[in-house]
Structure 1
């Protein structure tokens, strides 16, 4: 499998020093999980002359943003040139590559009319193609990337992952955790009409991957105060 590497070397050696878990990670799957799918990545994907960010980081995620940018320098799947506008990161090449892992779904009764072109445009959700993540390494890597940004260890040393306005990533995380043989402790789904829609699930990884998640948690970047 392409682009598999030891987690201790990931993100330019910023992740584990002296680690012992020796878990292999698929970088593509990790990054897709880390990027997330806030609002289902809703956008007008067929509208000309508009660039859609690959990811927008919260103002408290400055360290994570830098780690993400550094990781792209070692991203072997596609040569990419990135542009940064405040907290948003753009790359036509990377967007094209990542979008292969999604299918478009039109947002019903929601769009806009461009008066200059006299043309209607629709908004689309991007729905994760879960069948693109076939191996255990890919599923673990997606789950790890999601945990790295959206998860934590709770007081009982269990893994908690919380997503906001997720359309397909949250469901994929739960399914992948189950398929990996992890014990699902709890699952809390937001009410259909809740704004924002906050979903959370808690799981216990298998003994094989327990140390891996502990080390990954210790390697999570600190959040900063928003200016």
Structure 2
């Protein structure tokens, strides 16, 4: 488990790399962070995926703003009590455009393909909060590189914007799994239905589930939004997807 740096067109990405201890090549996974960024909890999630037999890259997608952590975070994050945290994240988030994110994704995928720590085949992608949208964009932008993609408590996945992630459905060839929170103002029922319609009409192999009683951010154990049962459900679905599509 280590921190690495990757050069991009816009600077240098700091990223966390987790892998099994045997030193051999393993199927690659790209893990996209939530808005709170690359921090100990996300590293622990990457470590769990590594323990399941994957080489996992977790880039700091806000690297244009600064190295992780890009904002100072408490050990336990409760935005309702600390609204200034969300306000502080805003400037960092605005440095990441869809176009820039996909330029960066090409770098992440190329590194994973070329690394002796991976098997060099198609990768799995998973993302959380804003990272779920990045996972969908990556699957749609680089369909030849992504075999499986998942998103959990995703935000703004099927909006009216001309660059909404759901508009890439027709390019996706990966199998998808989406775990939505039903207590989530950033991903309301009408957007979930719009995304489902787009994926179905495009013939994308997918499973989309709404986690009853779950809040936006339910997988993040260092936040007030955490839900233990929903998180374990997420792990079961994610590990099953990757086991079938990446390791066979």
How does the TM-score come out when normalised to structure 2?
0.33
Q: Larger Rg: 1 or 2? A: 1
